[in-house]
Copies of this chain bind each other. A is one copy, B any other.
């Protein structure tokens, strides 16, 4: 693994295969055996990659690239708890968060013990809130929980609580959950305005408990409690802290029994599985949370044991490398046909782009091949009525992951009709994007629809579709805690495998450092301090203009 990716034989072979004409998907999809050959399943998820621009020869070289990149060896090192985060000198063990009950775990037993102890504490707090036993400063039960956190302390719980709305309703939770991540006054104000201070609890989530935006919001939240008559001694009744550094939370007045802990071997973007997941446990209950962990664990075991050619994370990773490095698609659209997964693309966006948006190999040399794609997306059916125009007829290469569900037991009378509409839409877009409709076929279709030859001629190019846009179809058996856990773990491991191929570090994030530093330089200037002469002209001018107009 000391070689660069472009020095591996499979890389050169793939370059040659990518440079040669690959048959159009319209042709590839005439092969009736293709779908069965290009479908794999695990943990309640089916991956159909038959709409990728991949021939058997390409597939063979992609698997060879995985072998030559020692993806399996790097995976095993991660699963053992080796200190694979070299640039920060840490192990990476989020898999332990969902495998703590495993007798044959490859990581140290002390890790599992810590995890189980904190999980137990978290479930006690969740049950207490769910049962209405946690009370505010006027003695009444807490009804609203506001999570203050940002990035990894926000995106996961926010996404999962919405995704699992059906489970939350079934589990009988009466507590309403809210999330505020931005330090913008409007964000906090709009959230708090309809809430009753005496019945509101704040979860303050920060890995280091030094995240400025979160601490500012936490300070304003406490002021809001006090301004509503909460006595100083009662403020802690309205607070829970979640952090890897409990001593910092306690120094700020958070109660030890209300402080949940996780550890520096859990990356922020992998922390949903830790105490950071408390809002999810409040929403769906401890049993539901355990189902989510079990789903992720099932995917972990699949990743650990399945042959590469049927290994879902490895397949997703290889397909992504093919599209990014050899077909030149700089971005990856993630589009869900289950509306409750509306935040899922944002979650994957952080996980993927923060992990693989890198320009340095493990050995410190600059990367010269393309690394992680831009991840963007949202709900598919919204997209169809908006930006899909560009996918069909723009001048871009985009790779698409479609997420669908097979079953939906929403208690709406015509639920089946709704489900079919979603499924048909997904399949239609996957077909239209892959097969397209050439200019000649469009011309013929326009004539057949009754247009004159002149009109058909004039509009044929306008109304034609090049097709050949590659896509994966990911079907969940149903959207529940188990399948959500499996889906998230699938993308986590995909991201890991790609870093293993590119030879980059998936677990650091030095790229966020400079902005934080400059923020601290700029903050006092906005309050009137004098700028250092080294500050650039644009920043100086902006600050002067903001001060002048304030």
* Cβ-closest chain B residue relative to A217: B418
A287 within 8 A of B: no
Is the CB–CB distance between A394 and B169 below 8 Å? no
Closest to A519 in B: B428
Q: Give the distance to chain B from A444, nearest Cβ to Cβ, in Å.
A: 13
| Chain B residues near A350 (CB-CB < 8 A) | 385-387
**A282–chain B nearest beta-carbon distance, Å:** 17
B364 with A458: CB separation less than 8 A = yes
Asked whether, in the complex, the Cβ of B412 is within 8 Å of the Cβ of A189, the reply is yes
Question: Given A29-B536, A421-B213: A393 and B357 within 8 A (CB)?
Answer: yes
- Asked if A196 is an interface residue, CB under 8 A from chain B, the answer is no
- Inter-chain contacts of A512 with B (CB < 8 A): 384-385, 388-389, 392
Beta-carbon contact of B371 and A394 below 8 Å:
yes
Is A172 interfacial (CB 8 A cutoff)? no
Bound-state Cα–Cα, A395 to B359, Å: 7
Is the pair A421, B183 in contact by a Cβ cutoff of 8 Å? yes
A238 to B340, alpha carbons, bound, how many Å?
26
**A187 touching B385, Cβ below 8 Å:** no
Q: Is A173 at the interface (CB under 8 A from chain B)?
A: no
Encoded as 1 (CB less than 8 Å from any B CB) or 0, chain A from 468 to 488 comes to 000001010101000000000
Contact of A185 among B359, B408, B463, B539 (CB under 8 A): B408
Pair A166/B186 contact, Cβ less than 8 Å: yes
Q: Does A278 contact B (CB under 8 A)?
A: no
Instruction: Tell me, rounded to whole Å, the shortest Cβ–Cβ distance linking A381 to chain B.
Output: 5
Contact, CB under 8 Å: A359 / B422: no
- Taking CB atoms, residues of chain B closer than 8 Å to A509 are 389
Cα distance A375–B388 when bound, in Å? 12
Residues of B near A527 (CB, < 8 A) are 420
- Shortest CB-to-CB span from A210 to chain B, Å, is 13
Q: Which of chain B's residues have a CB closer than 8 A to the CB of A541?
A: 35-36, 39, 48, 50
CB within 8 Å for A181 and B427 given contacts A216-B421, A376-B376, A386-B349: no
List the one stretch of A96-104, A127-135, A254-262, A429-437 in contact with chain B.
Answer: A429-437
B46 lies within 8 A of A461 (CB): no
Partner of A337, one of B181, B184, B353: B184
Contact across chains for B523 and A353 when beta carbons are under 8 A apart? no
- Report the bound CA distance from A329 to B376 in whole Å: 16
A390 near B374: Cβ-Cβ < 8 Å: yes
Q: Please, what's the 1-or-0 string for A516-550, where 1 marks a CB less than 8 Å from any CB in chain B?
A: 11110111001100000001111111110110011
- Knowing A151-B382, A165-B186, A462-B87 are in contact, say whether A414-B538 is a contact too (CB < 8 A): no
Contacts of A395 in B (CB 8 A): 359, 367, 369-372
Whether A401 sits at the interface, judged by CB under 8 Å, is no
Residue interface mask A188-212, B partner, CB < 8 A = 1: 1110010000000000000000011
A186-B340, A391-B511 are known contacts; what are 12 more A-B pairs with Cβ within 8 Å?
Answer: A32-B537, A155-B382, A182-B379, A183-B425, A186-B339, A350-B387, A356-B394, A358-B389, A407-B550, A427-B543, A428-B521, A459-B510
- The 25 sampled A-B contact pairs (Cβ below 8 Å) are A35-B540, A35-B541, A48-B542, A50-B538, A151-B384, A183-B421, A184-B408, A185-B412, A189-B411, A216-B418, A346-B386, A353-B394, A357-B391, A364-B462, A365-B461, A369-B395, A384-B515, A394-B511, A423-B546, A427-B522, A430-B539, A431-B535, A431-B538, A437-B514, A463-B510
Nearest 8 Cβ contacts at the A-B interface = A357-B390, A151-B385, A357-B394, A35-B541, A350-B386, A187-B339, A428-B518, A392-B511
